[in-house]
Structure 1
Amino acid sequence: MKATAFAGVFAVAAAIGGASLAEDGDTLSQVQERDRLNCGVNTGLVGFAAPDANGNWSGFDVAFCKAVAAAVLGDPSKVDYHPTDGETRFEMLADGSVDLLARNTTFTFSFDTGRDFDFVGVNYYDGQSFMVPKSLGITSAKDLDGASICVQSGTTTELNLKDYFEANMMEYQPVRLTSNAEGEQEYMSGACDAYTSDMSGLASTRAAFATPGDHVILPEIISKEPLGPVVRHGDNNWADIVRWTLYALIAAEEYGVTSANIEELSKNAQNPEVQRLLGANGDLGEMLGLDNEWAKRAIAASGNYGEIFAATIGDQTPIGLVRGLNAQWTQGGLMYAMPFR
């Protein structure tokens, strides 16, 4: 689920013309002209982005795609979801196949300073961990010396794994994979002793097992994995739209704007920040090339950040994730929206 640290990705992106597309094109106009948002998501991670038997996508990442579509197209259903793996996602973003990547890439120095891609924020703070069969009796990552470990290739997951074992003077045998689906299959077949990925991804994978209780996620978090939306470098207005859509969802939770009360607050809110957020006052939409109710539509699509979290991956879902670092800044977390003024 993380950004590759391999410099070759940048060369590939440049070769296929991603930079020129961003410089010569206006992503907002392209999206509005086709009347669809092309959103790059995971190949299938329950709770985050996964299709049902009828091909209908749902999850935390899907909700963000819907929010952006609602903001710019007025309809959260006008999204085409494009599964991307650790290697294809960057090519697809660079060549214009997708308009944005939704939370399947780690915000790292290499990508933020690379000429082809820009992160517009963080919508999930994560960290890498390990999952093992409970039957092995392993309770710590320090017990994995000599183990075979399933890991997605071309990712920072792979590099973090190498660093962790070197730092702890342990040996391991990597079993390299191309996708989470392959990782799940290999892990369940016994091809590796442990599976390493983002902790949230491991929780999602475990929740899909027939007997989730037979598998343990070890307590060690071996990396920082700030995950967030990514757009092509060079189209500043589109980056602003995606960035402030994310902030709108976060701010809505902070100010108590929900899918249930948004209509009432858009008419009667006394807080000037909420008035500006919902378009009842000011001209923030005009600054983005949108109307003033863009953020109101984004929030109404699936609810505020907290509503989306609770409905898709929260502690009352099979994924069972607590807010932790992803709680609002007022509640001890890191979620913080810039002011709407």
Structure 2
Amino acid sequence: MKKTLLSAAIGAAVFGFGAHAASAATLDDVKEKGFVTCGVSTGLQGFSAPDSEGNWSGLDVDYCRAIAAAIFGDPSKAKFVALTATDRFPALQSGEVDVLTRNTTWTLSRDTSLGLDFRTVNYYDGQGFMVPKDLGVSSAKELSGAAVCVQSGTTTELNLADYFKSNGMEYNPVVFEALEDVNNAFNQGRCDVYTTDQSGLYAIRLTLTDPDNYMILPEIISKEPLGPAWRQGDDQWGDVVTWTHFAMLNAEEFGITSENVDEIAETSDNPGIMRLLGTEPDGKMGADLGLDEKWAYNIIKTVGNYGEVFDKDVGQGSPLKIERGLNALWTNGGLQYGPPIR
């Protein structure tokens, strides 16, 4: 009998924990406070960086603004908390931020043991190496014995160790917690090599004293699927975050931009477009998400489709000039693929 009662008590406790987790309602909390709080990097040009007046810009920043537009119809209802690689996960777990829209790699351990959820990738990346041209190397295989600047608390640090070990090479890690400290150390010549996601290297090179004196080596040593993360047990909130990205991808695939969305909304009788833009009679796509039927229209009108955002933040319309590559739509040979809104 005691064992039966004990088992029942444990089962009730587990059930209670699960029910509590599943009943988490970030969307309701966000609506009540009137804004969404996003954890972003402390400053990575093209992804999330503040200007001298504290105005944020970048691909990850625009993702957050798109979430705000989906919920409130207003991208300005997004607030940003700058987080280092080390403090980003505790900040999300504690509720300091509602979602991480910060260059964060989706991995198994983060998706399980940290109690976080990932479901989509807004930037497919891979780790690379940047060196001064006068170092005289053209391949990462020539870096044995080098001093390597790397940020602590990242998959970058782990991948670095794996790469050198698997290739039978030695290296001297120069490790800092803050990205700014890593940048300064490399700029001051305290290490021979800088390693991070390749997109980050393009951004960081622009901040160096003489960018033309540095080159990015051709090797990509890892898979870095970067995307938003939120707390486990809140599926509705996860749906909002995920479908915000998918709406931007579907808009690009349909050829809908911030400039032509009004005209298309008024004239299109394409059922897929009508569901996306909330013009379908008796449509309920927004209601199923807990949002207004114009949720996707508001994203596209005020923030843009994925291609527009990519181009201005990191692509050919930005100082970084990064090619779409894997981040092209699937119809153009890339990996970006938005499931149908229906």
* Whole-Å separation in 2 of the counterparts to 1:121 and 1:67: 15
Q: Which residue of 1 aligns with 2:279?
A: 280
Find out whether 1:32 has 2:26 as its counterpart. Answer: no
SS of the equivalent of 2:81 reads: strand
* Whole-Å separation in 2 of the counterparts to 1:19 and 1:77: 34
What displacement does 1:25 show? 3.4
The residue correspondences of 1:94-113 to structure 2 (distance < 5 A) are 94-113=93-112
* Whole-Å separation in 1 of the counterparts to 2:82 and 2:329: 30
Q: Is the 8 A contact 1:314 1:322 kept in 2?
A: yes
Q: Which residue of 2 aligns with 1:77?
A: 76
Q: Give the counterpart letter for 2:90 in structure 1.
A: E
What displacement does 1:269 show? 1.4
Q: Which residue of 2 aligns with 1:300?
A: 301
What displacement does 1:22 show? 5.0
Q: Which residue of 2 aligns with 1:57?
A: 56
What displacement does 1:162 show? 0.6
* Whole-Å separation in 2 of the counterparts to 1:22 and 1:245: 23
What displacement does 1:19 show? 9.2
In the alignment, structure 1 segments of 5+ residues that lack a partner are 1-17
Q: Which residue of 2 aligns with 1:9?
A: none
Q: Which residue of 1 aligns with 2:201?
A: 202
* Whole-Å separation in 1 of the counterparts to 2:114 and 2:137: 43
The residue correspondences of 1:132-281 to structure 2 (distance < 5 A) are 132-281=131-280
* Whole-Å separation in 2 of the counterparts to 1:262 and 1:145: 53
Q: Which residue of 1 aligns with 2:327?
A: 326
What displacement does 1:316 show? 3.7
* Whole-Å separation in 2 of the counterparts to 1:290 and 1:249: 16
What TM-score, normalized by structure 2, do the two folds share?
Answer: 0.92
What TM-score, normalized by structure 1, do the two folds share?
Answer: 0.92
- Residues 106 and 20 (structure 1), Cα distance of their counterparts in 2 relative to 1, 3 Å cut: farther
Q: Is the 8 A contact 1:103 1:124 kept in 2?
A: no
SS of the equivalent of 2:169 reads: coil
Q: CA RMSD in A?
A: 1.5
* Whole-Å separation in 1 of the counterparts to 2:317 and 2:90: 36
What displacement does 1:328 show? 0.4
Q: Is the 8 A contact 1:250 1:336 kept in 2?
A: yes
Q: Which residue of 1 aligns with 2:91?
A: 92
What displacement does 1:134 show? 1.1
Q: Which residue of 1 aligns with 2:339?
A: 338
Q: Is the 8 A contact 1:19 1:232 kept in 2?
A: no
Percent identity for Structure 1 against Structure 2: 52
What displacement does 1:23 show? 4.5
What displacement does 1:338 show? 0.5
Q: Is the 8 A contact 1:22 1:232 kept in 2?
A: no
* Whole-Å separation in 1 of the counterparts to 2:277 and 2:140: 47
Instruction: Please give the per-residue CA displacement for 1:64-83, whole angstroms capped at 9, x wherever unaligned.
Output: 11000011122100111001
Instruction: Please give the per-residue CA displacement for 1:23-54, whole angstroms capped at 9, x wherever unaligned.
Output: 55310111111101100101100111111111
Q: Is the 8 A contact 2:22 2:235 kept in 1?
A: no
In the alignment, structure 2 segments of 5+ residues that lack a partner are 1-16
SS of the equivalent of 1:303 reads: coil
Instruction: Please give the per-residue CA displacement for 1:96-134, whole angstroms capped at 9, x wherever unaligned.
Output: 110100142101111223361000200100000001111
Q: Is the 8 A contact 2:68 2:75 kept in 1?
A: yes
Q: Is the 8 A contact 2:24 2:233 kept in 1?
A: no
Moved more, 214-223 or 174-183: 174-183
* Whole-Å separation in 2 of the counterparts to 1:65 and 1:115: 22
* Whole-Å separation in 1 of the counterparts to 2:93 and 2:135: 43
* Whole-Å separation in 2 of the counterparts to 1:99 and 1:314: 28
Q: Which residue of 1 aligns with 2:312?
A: 311
Q: Is the 8 A contact 1:278 1:296 kept in 2?
A: yes
- Residues 115 and 162 (structure 1), Cα distance of their counterparts in 2 relative to 1, 3 Å cut: closer
SS of the equivalent of 1:222 reads: coil
* Whole-Å separation in 2 of the counterparts to 1:129 and 1:254: 30
Instruction: Please give the per-residue CA displacement for 1:221-273, whole angstroms capped at 9, x wherever unaligned.
Output: 00000000111100110000000001001111011010001111111113211
What displacement does 1:21 show? 8.0
